[in-house]
């Protein structure tokens, strides 16, 4: 172990619980609070701020990349991540493009945590069948990683139209854009 440096990183993740109409805050107010939270997290030296994706009334985080892009404009150092991006019901091209955009806006501080999600509301919302749960995730993760590795992509799968030698833009500032795998139950 000679020469290795052990470091601990500390961060926070949130689903941006709102609970509008039941004594909680509105979705709009919770979004504004999230920007204040990430600014404070950056100021006190936390390493990462992560937003989980949900499509339910009690959460405000249906679009982590947009929320994190707003935070990128007012922070300097903190890494900005999803926790998780529900890749099974999203399009890997759009996910990469959104996080590459965030990466450029944040000067190389974006990360994707790709996962299946612990709730299933996004599957019927975006027209996917739960019987394809495993296959969708594996296929879309394969495409996301292929996009991350190469500017021009050729790919075929069973649940998404093929990509035939197409460029995916913008490219992330970081090479490669960090992609973490997140699992839960």
Full DSSP string of 72-121: HTT-SS-EEEES-EEGGGS-HHHHHHHHHHHHHHTTS-EEEEEE--SS-T
pTM of the model: 0.93
Cα separation of 67 and 109, whole Å? 14
Strand partners, 153: 166
Pairing of strands 48-51, 11-14: parallel
Is 5 inside a domain boundary?
A: no
Q: What is the mean pLDDT of each run of 10 residues along the chain (185 residues)?
A: 76 91 87 97 98 93 97 98 95 98 98 89 92 94 98 95 97 97 77
Cα separation of 140 and 94, whole Å? 11
CA distances 153 to 53, 163, 168, Å, are 26, 7, 7
Tally of domains in the chain: 1
Is 3 inside a domain boundary?
A: no
69-107 residue pLDDT tens: 999 999 999 999 999 999 999 999 999 999 999 999 999
Grouping H, G, I as helix, E, B as strand and the rest as coil, residue 41 is helix
Is 64 inside a domain boundary?
A: yes
Is 6 inside a domain boundary?
A: no
143: CATH: 3.20.20.30
Is 133 inside a domain boundary?
A: yes
Is 1 inside a domain boundary?
A: no
Full domain range(s) for residue 48: 11-182
């Amino acid at each position: 172990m000679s020469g290795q440096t052990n470091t601990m990183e500390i961060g926070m993740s949130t689903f941006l619980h709102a609970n509008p109409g039941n004594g909680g805050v509105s979705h709009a107010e919770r979004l504004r609070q999230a920007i204040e939270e990430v600014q404070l997290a950056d100021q006190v030296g936390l390493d990462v701020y992560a937003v989980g994706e949900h499509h339910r009334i009690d959460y405000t985080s249906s679009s982590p990349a947009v929320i994190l892009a707003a935070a990128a404009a007012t922070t300097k150092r903190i890494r900005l991540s999803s926790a998780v991006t529900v890749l099974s019901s999203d399009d890997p091209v759009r996910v990469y493009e959104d996080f590459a955009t965030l990466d450029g806006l944040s000067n190389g501080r974006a990360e994707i945590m790709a996962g299946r999600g612990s709730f299933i509301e996004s599957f019927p919302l975006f027209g996917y069948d739960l019987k394809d749960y495993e296959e969708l995730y594996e296929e879309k993760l394969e495409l996301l990683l292929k996009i991350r590795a190469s500017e021009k992509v050729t790919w075929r799968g069973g649940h998404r139209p093929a990509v035939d030698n197409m460029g995916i833009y913008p490219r992330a500032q970081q090479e490669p854009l960090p992609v973490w795998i997140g699992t839960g139950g």
